[in-house]
Amino acid sequence: MMKTNNLGLYIHIPFCLKKCHYCDFYSEAGTDSAIRAKYVDSLCSEIAWYGGRLGLASEDGGRLVDTVFIGGGTPSILDAGQTARIVSTIFDSFRVAEDAEISMECNPATLTAEKLAAYRKAGINRLSMGVQSMEPSVLEIMGRAHGPEDVISNFRLAREAGFDNINLDVMFGVPGQDMEIWKDTVHKVLALEPEHLSFYSLELAEGTEFYRRLASGQLKETAPEKDREMYHWMLETLDGCGYEHYEISNAAKPGCRCRHNLKYWNLEDYLGLGAAAHSFIADKRFSNPEDVSKYVDSWQTGNPAVDWHQENTWEDSLTDYIFTALRKTEGIGKKDFAERFGREFWDVFADRRAEFEEYMAAGDAAEDNEGVCITRKGMDIASELIALFL
Ligand code: SF4
């Protein structure tokens, strides 16, 4: 896909009801409403501030924003009025495309008919719900704050509110989850007929409750071959239900791919706002402090804090592009590559070609006139294939 000049906005809401046992994302659990209110004030200040640089108040009227993703954390923990204020500040500050995809992450048990109606009214047109499992014992092991019945009731409420573009996240390779439990979860989420599904293999991150329990022998890790069996069973099941597998961990009904996430995978520009949010604009990477208090203080005192930044070299952008674009099932387009990097793909990677051909012979990679990609079989060794070009 060709790079456009459009901009994606990512808004980070770093609050959760409680910390899940496997999670190492930046989020805070059990915060009080006063902190959340201050955070929303700061976030709106930041949105307006960037509106003066990249949005409506900039000299040229700014770049067209065609995707917005409100993620977390658990954004649906905010009051409906706070969410509506964030979205209206975006509309007041940026030139937003009429057909913009405006997504919001939510967790089951945090939605109500009133909240959903307010989201629709504000302009949110896509929801992404963290289901993870439909088995109560697995949800308990994961430390999730909801039960399977919350998924079904909240999904129905979302449909009734008019949401016709919904993603459900599920997770496999979780301790305590065997093949039968996994199949049951997938069948139950497919019965809801979501437009999009994300399916992640559990990653064991240091510092999490899961890591501690596994290290102390309280939990047992899923065997790699079992994890792969779950993944491939999922893909085959999705094939039979009209979903297109378009990225290692994502599948969608035709026309329902997540346009915002495709910006990351296609190395397009996005602006991240809120604590810990990362941005990539005009080959520059930068991020906000991973600390709510520091972030709020910086906006209350009018001294925006950027924690880290880097100007990508040609090689950095090449690495970033390979890393994300090869995750897509369509892989890397040769024409797109040549336009971005000013050189042909196999001219840059001539010394890797023989090794790539060995992967092709093994059925793990493929090439045609259009581009190169990792095959479904090769998804199991995707990191190894990506590393070949890094
Ligand atoms: S709800 Fe999401 S962000 Fe929050 S702790 Fe659980 S996995 Fe992490």
Q: Which residues pair with 11 in a beta bridge?
A: 70, 273
Tokens of 121: 């009214």
* Three-state DSSP class for residue 189: helix
* pLDDT-based confidence at residue 2 (cuts at 50, 70, 90): low
The CATH number of domain 7-265 is 3.30.70.260:
no
How large a percentage of the chain has pLDDT more than 90?
95
Ligand 1 touching residue 208 (CB < 6 A):
no
Task: Name, in order, each residue with C-beta under 8 angstroms of 153's C-beta and a sequence gap of 6 or more.
Answer: 108
Ligand 1 centre from 195 Cα, in Å? Answer: 22
CA distances from 55 to 13, 84, 99, 124 (A): 21, 19, 17, 19
* CA atoms within a 13 Å half-sphere pointing along the CA-CB vector of 63: 18
Is there a contact between 301 and 37 (Cβ–Cβ < 8 Å)? no
Task: Name, in order, each residue with C-beta under 8 angstroms of 242's C-beta and a sequence gap of 6 or more.
Answer: 253, 254
Ligand 1 touching residue 27 (CB < 6 A):
yes
Ligand 1 centre from 146 Cα, in Å? Answer: 12
Ligand 1 centre from 28 Cα, in Å? Answer: 9
367 — alpha (psi -120 to 50), left (phi > 0) or beta? Answer: beta
List, for residues 141-157, the tens digit of each pLDDT value.
999 999 999 999 999 99
Q: Which atom of ligand 1 is nearest to the CA of 73?
A: 3
Mean pLDDT, to the nearest integer, of 303-308? 83
pLDDT at 3 over 80: no
Ligand 1 touching residue 274 (CB < 6 A):
no
Which residue spans of the chain are classified as CATH 3.20.20.70? 7-265
Ligand 1 touching residue 130 (CB < 6 A):
yes
Which protein residue has the closest C-alpha to ligand 1 atom 2? Answer: 73
* pLDDT-based confidence at residue 305 (cuts at 50, 70, 90): confident
pLDDT at 88 over 70: yes
Ligand 1 centre from 301 Cα, in Å? Answer: 30
Q: Which atom of ligand 1 is nearest to the CA of 105?
A: 2
Q: Render 340-372 in DSSP notation, one character per residue.
A: HHSS-HHHHTGGGHHHHHHHHHTTSEEE-SSEE
Q: Are strands 371-374 and 332-333 parallel, antiparallel or unpaired?
A: antiparallel
Ligand 1 touching residue 251 (CB < 6 A):
no
